[in-house]
Amino acid sequence: MCSIAGFYDPAADFTAKQAEFEHILRQMAHTQAHRGPDDSGIFLSGQCGLSHTRLSIIDLKNGRQPMKASMDGFDYQIVYNGEIYNLHTLRRELKKRGVHPKTSSDTETILLSYLTFGPEFVRQLDGIFAFAIYDGRHNILSLYRDSFGVKPLFYTMKNGTLIFSSEIKGLLCFPGITAKLDKNGLNELFGLGPARTPGNGVLMGVFEVKPGTCLTCSSLGFVPHTYYRLTSRPHEDSYEETIEKTRFLVTDAVRRQMISDVSVCTFLSGGVDSSLVSAVCAAELKKKGQKLTTFSFDFIDNDKYFKANSFQPSMDRPYVDQMAAFLHSDHHYLECGSHTQAELLTASVDAHDLPCMADVDSSLLYFCSEVAKSHKVVLTGECADEVFGGYPWFHKESFLTCGTFPWTPDLSPRKQILNPQLLDVLDLDTYVKNAYETAIREIPILPGENDTEVNRRRIGYLNIRFFMQTLLNRMDRTSMHSGLEARVPFADRALVDYVFNIPWEMKAKDGVVKNVLRQAARTLLPDEILFRKKSPYPKTYNPHYEQLLKENLKERLAQPDCPLLPLINTKAVDRFLEQPKDYGAPWYGQLMAGPQMIAYLLQTEYFLRKYQVSLVI
């Protein structure tokens, strides 16, 4: 994995101030060095500048970027962040055309595929990626992002110049680009956050290349082109055929995503998703005489304070113990303390350049930093619940018919802490309603589907395009902040395409949540793991942590220059801080309840202060 950044202006001559613009490129690389600590490089021409930092995973010797290829006397340059899992297939297709790569680098293969097959070659890529290709012959810059947005790619404009970067912080290195929040951004932050509308970068004038999209930039303008979208189609396989095909697609995705020139490991929670990924990895490594390394996460003293609820019915440790023994893995138990979790709330904002999933994010940031001490590549069970329907909102009628995003069915917890005047300006309800209705209009409904089936299809689509994207952002930023590459087999395009159209009576046959996946995993896992009731990523229940958050927020709000003060209702926040917190009534997803609201406010305060955000409302 890596970071990419750069700028493009079809009418400019950046070489007229070469030293100045080379310095900007190096700054863009430096600010994202955590994503690629192994190497860096820049390219500058009259109209385009490219910057790259590298985390060496494939072809450690020959994969340096920016990388150049020539055709008919013209040069083409690429900077690339990602992994391609069908690399060998692509190389075979190139050789059929008489094109012979000089390295085993996937970067070179992508650039040569672009030159050989044209811009539509991206449809053939199986992987996670964000890359930029500069066509020196035609003076065109093309930005590509993978089908589900596993890898990030932001951009903005300044006086006719397009600036792009893996992370927002890279954009802020360009002269004249500053952090501003307008009405749109505040609605994103307080109405949808920590989710975002696809393509919305929250900061004023900042956008993100949408998943499955190519942005072509030339003297004729900037044209987005969608090369992939989820499609609805009738499911014609029998139940038995569906189980068989799902098993193949899942196990094949895991095997393909093990490609690496360095050792891989897995996250293991003891749930069916991470256990299945770990089981396939362990079996593949065993064939080579190797042992899988696994990691599990928990919180210090959580065994004393844990309170089961409908969203988190059990602790992971007993199931992790069972799976580690079953796999004979080299297992490592990692624990995070309250002070560490609270301290890393600010580092999580640094990783995202935005407020994020509060301590659900900061704890994972810590765990990834520990894993990165010994590994560069990890496979995770992320995205299975979005794809296979594992969340409560797939199963309860109240969620199916709520008419809004089911992970945020009620905006009241958000609205009660905001300044009433700001609420009047923002109109959160209308903004969220419009975002929801725009999204569901994208979903093609099949003839003959009844209201319940239509609602489930909508929720399935929204989960993949909104909720899954939030978790993918979290996984990328928390892992890459420490130079750890996280791979997500359940976000494999072929798998998602297939499962999206499996009828609900198969997905949850006999009322069993994620039944198709569980049946597909038979014989690969013990039954106790296979049919364990879903329990999400762990969070702390230690009351000391909540008290720590309260003290920190009170301290910040007591500062007269606190940037949060104009945005909140201070009396309402004071009352909220004194009330007992409900750990089982989330305001976002399954994990973000009362304490996480405090943490989110702390992150927002730090974000406004650290990035010197100016308000434009």
Closest CA to 8 of 182, 160, 213: 160
Q: At what angle do helices 338-352 and 543-557 cross, to 10 degrees?
A: 50
Q: Does residue 526 have a cis peptide bond before it, meaning omega lies within 30 degrees of 0?
A: no
Helix/strand/coil percentages in the chain, nearest 5: 45, 20, 35
Residue 219 has a CB neighbour count (10 Å cut-off) of 11
Q: Please list, in sequence order, all residues whose beta carbon lies within 8 angstroms of the beta carbon of residue 480, skipping any fewer than 6 positions away.
A: 1, 3, 34, 35, 55, 351, 486
Selecting among 2, 48, 214, 368, the annotated active-site residue is: 2
Closest CA to 403 of 356, 451, 471: 451
The beta strands (E) that lie in 58-107 are given as 67-71, 74-84
> 538: which 2 tokens?
């762990």
| Residue type at 534 in one-letter notation | K
Give me the sheet containing 485-487, strands edge to edge.
330-336, 293-299, 264-267, 377-379, 485-487
Burial of 140 from C-beta contacts in 10 A (0-12 / 13-18 / 19+) = buried
Site of tokens 């009534």: 585
Quick check: 369 and 486 in contact, CB under 8 A? Answer: no
**β-strand partners of 333:** 296
Angle at CA of residue 556, ends 554 and 560, nearest 5°:
110
**Catalytic residue check, 383:** no
Quick check: 311 and 584 in contact, CB under 8 A? Answer: yes
Largest Cα–Cα separation, the chain: 72
Closest CA to 485 of 345, 378, 612: 378
| Phi, psi of 267, deg, nearest 5 | -85, 135
| Residue type at 156 in one-letter notation | T
Quick check: 179 and 253 in contact, CB under 8 A? Answer: no
Give the H/E segment covering residue 96: helix 87-96
- Report the alpha-carbon distance of residue 83 to residue 90 in Å, rounded: 13
Just list the catalytic residues: 2
